[in-house]
């Protein structure tokens, strides 16, 4: 087999002539068919090229978004309505000792329009924990007649705070000599003295014997009444912060039983009206019955008894601690 090589230019002329000869042989009708086939091939390739071109156009934008600068992180803000714990306790001012009982807490929120603060929480626990929205609050702790206030700012992380109260306790009692008086038979009034007036301002007017009265630190004037007439004693007492002051007021009085009888030691007349007067004629006590009992301070008295339009009287003396019957003879 002999292989011969021809120059490329000669080969090209031969192929070109072959193509011209083929087109001449096909004629016009073949040319039209060939053109239609080429158009269909172009239309078939167009949808495949468009997505690829679109992807190439979008790729730089996507890469720019990926490699672009990251926006700065925003600081976290507490969601609306989120609460934080407010833990409270109180101590005696100067003593640094916690107050374990007798507290009433109130938490007030300040308003922006200048209106009075409103109570948003309250508790009678010694160490309450409130769940409140972060903000500024006014704390008020009442310890009997004493109290303390403080303004605090509650943040999202919560707050633990302590309030100091300058207060103490006062426990009152009464006696006759060495014998204690039953608390039910005693009543006390406590006053804050003012200049020149020991009964300047009333703090409480119906304190009972043995009751713990919580008061601000200071000096007070106490009035003790034994019974319901003129057996009265007074004293000034000092209340110190963090301490309970026990004060016993010593009365000089006695209980007497009033009777109107026909003879000494006889049966008392029912429905008798009695009046107890001082020697000067001032009425101390009035009572109605067969044998009413009256507690009187030590001293001299006049007893008047009225029965069925008749009036009887006698003088008598009360000695401290000596309870006895006082008889008026109807003759």
Tell me the HSE value of 232 on the side-chain side, using a 13 A CA sphere.
Answer: 9
What span, in angstroms and rounded, lies between the C-alpha atoms of 323 and 253? 9
Band (113; pLDDT cuts 50, 70, 90): confident
Consecutive H or E run containing 300: strand 299-307
On the question of pLDDT at 11 being above 50, the answer is no
Set out the domains of the chain in order of their start, with CATH numbers: 84-165 (2.60.40.1120), 167-250 (2.60.40.1120), 253-329 (2.60.40.10)
On the question of pLDDT at 120 being above 60, the answer is yes
Residue from 271, 308, 188, 283 nearest 237 by CA: 188
Could you give the C-alpha distances from 297 to 96, 121, 176, 225, 300, in angstroms and in order? 44, 50, 11, 10, 9
What span, in angstroms and rounded, lies between the C-alpha atoms of 138 and 155? 14
Q: What is the mean pLDDT of residues 172-178?
A: 95
**Residue entry with tokens 């009433």:** 104
Q: What is the pLDDT of residue 79?
A: 56
CB 138 within 8 A of CB 149: yes
Per-residue pLDDT of 209-258, as tens digits, reads 999 999 999 999 999 999 999 999 999 999 999 999 999 999 999 999 99
What is the Cα Rg of the chain in Å?
Answer: 54
Q: Where are the alpha helices (DSSP H) in the chain?
A: 8-67
Both tokens of 223, joined, read: 């009035």
């Amino acid at each position: 087999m002999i292989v011969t090589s021809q120059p490329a230019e000669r080969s090209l002329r031969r192929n070109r002539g072959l193509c011209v000869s083929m087109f001449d042989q096909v004629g016009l009708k073949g040319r039209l068919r060939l053109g239609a086939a080429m158009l269909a091939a172009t239309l078939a390739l167009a949808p495949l090229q468009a997505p690829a071109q679109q992807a190439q156009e979008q790729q730089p934008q996507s890469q720019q978004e990926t490699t672009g600068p990251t926006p700065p992180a925003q600081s976290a803000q507490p969601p609306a309505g989120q609460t934080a714990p407010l833990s409270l306790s109180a101590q005696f001012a100067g003593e640094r000792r916690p107050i374990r009982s007798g507290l009433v807490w109130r938490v007030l929120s300040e308003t922006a329009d200048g209106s009075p603060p409103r109570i948003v929480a309250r508790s009678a626990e010694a160490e309450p924990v409130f769940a409140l929205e972060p903000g500024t609050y006014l704390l008020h702790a009442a310890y009997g007649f004493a109290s303390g206030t403080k303004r605090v700012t509650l943040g999202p992380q919560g707050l633990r705070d302590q309030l100091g109260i300058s207060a103490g306790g006062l426990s009152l009692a009464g006696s006759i000599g060495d014998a204690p008086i039953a608390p039910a038979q005693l009543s006390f009034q406590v006053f804050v003295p003012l200049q020149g007036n020991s009964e300047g301002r009333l703090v409480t007017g119906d304190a009972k014997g043995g009751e713990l009265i919580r008061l601000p630190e200071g000096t007070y004037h106490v009035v003790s009444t034994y019974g319901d007439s003129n057996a009265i004693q007074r004293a000034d007492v000092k209340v110190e912060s963090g301490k309970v002051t026990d004060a016993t007021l010593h009365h000089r009085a006695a209980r007497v039983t009033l009777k109107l009888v026909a003879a000494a030691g006889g049966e008392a007349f029912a429905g008798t009206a009695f009046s107890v007067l001082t020697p000067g004629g001032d009425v101390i006590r009035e009572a109605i019955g067969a044998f009413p009992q009256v507690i009187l301070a030590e001293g001299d008295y006049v007893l008047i008894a009225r029965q069925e339009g008749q009036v009887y009287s006698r003088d008598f003396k009360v000695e401290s601690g000596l309870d006895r019957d006082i008889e008026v003879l109807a003759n």
